[in-house]
Amino acid sequence: MPRSFSRVPRLYVDAALHERASVPLSLSQAHYLNNVLRLNAGDGVLVFNGRDGEWRGTLAGEKRSLALAIAERTRPQPSALNLHYLFAPLKHARLDYMTEKAVEMGASRLQPVLTRHAQVARLNFERMRANAIEAAEQCGILTLPDIRAPLSLERMIAELEPDRLLVFCDETADVKDPVAALTQARKARQGHALAFAVLIGPEGGFAQEERTALLKLPNAVRLALGPRLLRADTAAVAALALVGAVLGDWR
């Protein structure tokens, strides 16, 4: 995010953005800008919709009927990183944290995967989307991830594209240097469009038959994330940071 805009409030809207557009705000958005941030008509707001880049707008209208008058585009829409984050569902607070961090790390899809030892089977998708939007607003991100309905591990394996590299995180893996393993995978795929996925299992770990099925995939890289056992939400940050640094757009 450009430093000159870092103190300007950012807002996600689900409306087309272009010069001279007028974008109505919801009551909750109007309350936030008016009563929490204490903004007034004429104050500036940066706005994005995940499709048209980022735009500068100004507040217009009355308190209960505020709108944004769109003036100019400040940043074009970037290409999304082709990164799918696959995860065993977590309980509320840890799922909130994981969703925020996956968005910050550039995940283009959030895909819950049901495994034998998973402790949670139902998810609040509206809450996940709200957390994704909040993370994008606060961190200058322009692309929101596609949040999918849960799949069984078997169906996830069956539907995984043949050319997508799967980084499969497993505390029982023998790999001692995950950076070296990912670097080797990157070199092996030179000349191919880089599409990859990160899979984090449940805190109870993968069942042996699940490991066996994953290891049969031709493009799977099995990694341990260091000498300490990590909670699933901590493992998400560690794995996505590794992938971003070696395979993704951190380089």
* Residue range(s) defining the domain that contains residue 194: 83-246
128 and 225 together in one domain: yes
The verdict on 67 and 89 lying in the same domain is no
CA distance 133 to 143: 9
Q: Are residues 93 and 133 both part of a single domain?
A: yes
Do 33 and 12 lie in a common domain?
Answer: yes
Residues 93 and 55 reside in one and the same domain: no
In a domain, 55, yes or no: yes
- 3-class DSSP state of 185: helix
Q: Extract the tokens encoding 26.
A: 């919801």
CA distance 116 to 6: 44
98 and 54 in a common domain = no
Distance of CA 66 to the CA centre of its chain: 30
| pLDDT reported for residue 112 | 96
Q: Structurally, how many domains does the chain consist of?
A: 2
The verdict on residue 251 lying in a domain is no
Any domain includes 200: yes
Q: How many CB atoms lie within 10 A of CB 232?
A: 22
Which tokens hold the place of 114?
């049901």
Cα–Cα distances in angstroms (integers) from residue 109 to residues 25, 82, 198, in the given order:
27, 8, 10
Domain assignment of residue 172, yes or no: yes
CATH number at residue 15: 2.40.240.20
Say whether both 40 and 97 belong to one domain: no
> In whole angstroms, what is the distance from residue 77 CA to residue 89 CA?
30
Instruction: Report the distance separating Cα 61 and Cα 30, nearest Å.
Output: 10
Q: Average pLDDT per run of 10 along the chain, which is 251 residues long? A: 64 94 91 89 93 95 82 94 93 92 96 89 90 95 95 95 92 86 85 84 90 92 89 93 90 75
Single out the residue in 75, 99, 116 at which a domain terminates. Answer: 75
* Co-location of 67 and 105 in the same domain: no
Position 12 scores a pLDDT of 96
The token pair at 55 is: 């735009």
CA 53 to chain centre: 17
DSSP code string of 102-152: HHHTT-SEEEEEE-TT-S-----HHHHHHHHHHHHHHHT---PPEEPPPEE
pLDDT of 108: 96
Token pair 């995984």 is at which residue?
A: 160
13 class by beta-carbon count within 10 Å (0-12 exposed, 13-18 middle, 19+ buried) = buried
Domain boundary among 43, 75, 107: 75
101 within domain boundaries = yes
Say yes or no: 44 and 142 in one domain.
no
Q: Which two tokens stand for residue 234?
A: 């901590």
For 25, 126, 140, 144, 146, the CA distances from 149, given in Å and listed in that order, are 28, 12, 26, 16, 10
- 223: domain CATH number is 3.40.1280.10
Burial class (CB in 10 A: 0-12, 13-18, 19+), 48: buried
Identify whether residues 45 and 93 lie together within a single domain: no
Q: Is the domain of 172 the same as that of 120?
A: yes
Give the end of a domain, one of 75, 107, 125: 75
Q: How far apart are the C-alpha atoms of 86 and 102, rounded to whole Å?
A: 10
Q: Collect all residues with Cβ–Cβ distance below 8 Å to 113 and sequence separation of at least 6.
A: 86, 87, 88, 150, 151, 152, 153, 156, 199
Q: What is the pLDDT of residue 251?
A: 75
Residues 62 and 155 placed together within one structural domain of the fold: no
The span from the CA of 5 to the CA of 102, in Å, is 23
Q: Which amino acid is at 101?
A: K
